[in-house]
Every structure is written in C-alpha cells, then in structure tokens.
C-alpha cells in the first residue's frame, strides 16, 4: 500500500470530500441516524455542505489521503469554529473498505503537525455522535480526552454527541511516522 497525503485544490475538494463523507456516513451512522435520512437526504446534504463550506469566509484546511493514487480519506480543520475549545477538526473520514490501516492516525498526526507549524498553542478538538463506538475508541487510542456531552438535533435526527480534545498536540503530532505531504 502506498499512502500519500496531499492538499487538494478547492476545485477537486468539494467532490472528493462529499464522496468520502457520504461513504463514511453510510457505513458509520446506520442505527445512529435514520436510514431514510441517510438514504434519501444525506447525499445531497453533504454535497451542498462541501460546495458551501469550501467557499465560505470560514477558513478550512483539508488534508487528503490517497492509497495508490485513489482518495481514501480526508481531514478538514476549521480553525476558527468553536475557538473556545481550540482548533476544530470539522471532519475526519476514511473510506469504509480501508479503515484500520492507519489512515485516520496519519491524518490526525499531520493535522497536529500543521497546527503546531502555524505557531498555534491551543488544543485540537472534534465532536462525534456518542453512539459511534468505533470512532470514540479510535479517538481515545490516539490520546483524545472526553471533555463535553450534549444533545444534538442533526437535521431532525436526535442524537447525543460528545467532544474529544487533545491538549498535548505535540504528542498527537508524533503519534505515527507521517509521510511527507505534497504541495
């Protein structure tokens, strides 16, 4: 497996992120969000989300993981969203067929490395559905600490959500050998 990390152009990013996001949610959120919403509304919802997100005034930094040149996952950092908690990891998605191969860990480590390279001293954080046990276990394995819980109404789908935070961003950045990232 040849895993590379890159920064996609905005033109490429909306489609790639939407497709990976849709595949991830179809796999991870069955039983958490309503199947009818996932099947009927979510794909267009995610496409619209990415078309709007990447042209908004809210800066976003996307890191794309490719296996043998094929998109396999991505991480999106929205550093100005919820700044009271630090830098916000808005999305982390890995294609369901390649989970467990270290892609998420590599993306998280690269994000932390970039965060530190910008001179940031705040922690990193993200939110996840409380019932997403595999994601929560992953975040805990890489040092995330549970810092908040709340009820969420996600497009008419009630769910509990939790926030994980990484106070020690240096440890997260060193959590694996990170491949060089192409420009």
pLDDT per residue over 95-113, tens digit each? Answer: 999 999 999 999 999 999 9
In the chain the first and final C-alpha atoms are separated, in Å, by 21
**pLDDT > 70 fraction of the chain, expressed in percent and rounded:** 95
Is residue 53 scored above 90 in pLDDT?
no
Is residue 179 scored above 50 in pLDDT?
no
Higher pLDDT, 178 or 64: 64
Q: pLDDT grade, residue 176 (50/70/90)? A: low
Q: pLDDT grade, residue 15 (50/70/90)? A: confident
Q: CATH fold of 3-177, please?
A: Aminopeptidase (3.40.630)
Q: pLDDT grade, residue 182 (50/70/90)? A: very low
CB 107 within 8 A of CB 74: yes
Instruction: Give pLDDT, residue 183.
Output: 41
Instruction: Please state, in angstroms and rounded to a whole number, the distance separating the CA atoms of residues 27 and 24.
Output: 5
Please compute the mean of the pLDDT values over residues 107-126 and round it to a whole number. 96
Is residue 181 scored above 90 in pLDDT?
no
Instruction: Give pLDDT, residue 156.
Output: 87
Half-sphere exposure at residue 24, Cβ-oriented, CA atoms within 13 angstroms: 23
Cite the DSSP H helix spans in the chain.
10-28, 35-36, 42-53, 103-117, 133-141, 169-173
Instruction: Give pLDDT, residue 16.
Output: 86
Instruction: Give pLDDT, residue 59.
Output: 80
């Amino acid at each position: 497996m040849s895993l590379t990390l890159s920064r996609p152009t905005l033109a490429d990013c909306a489609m790639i992120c939407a497709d990976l996001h849709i595949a991830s949610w179809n796999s991870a959120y069955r039983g958490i969000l309503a199947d009818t919403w996932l099947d009927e509304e979510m794909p267009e919802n995610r496409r619209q989300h990415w078309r709007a997100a990447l042209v908004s005034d809210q800066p976003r930094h996307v890191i794309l993981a490719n296996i043998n040149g094929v998109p396999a996952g991505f991480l999106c950092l929205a550093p100005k969203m919820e700044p009271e908690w630090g830098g916000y990891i808005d999305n982390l998605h890995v294609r369901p067929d390649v989970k467990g191969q270290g892609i998420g860990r590599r993306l998280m480590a690269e994000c932390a490395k970039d965060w530190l390279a910008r001179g940031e001293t705040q922690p990193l954080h993200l939110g996840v559905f409380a019932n997403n046990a595999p994601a929560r276990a992953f975040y805990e394995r890489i040092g995330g600490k549970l810092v908040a819980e709340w009820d969420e109404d996600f497009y008419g789908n009630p769910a509990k959500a939790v926030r994980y935070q990484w106070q020690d961003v240096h440890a997260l950045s060193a959590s694996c050998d990170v491949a060089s990232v192409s420009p």
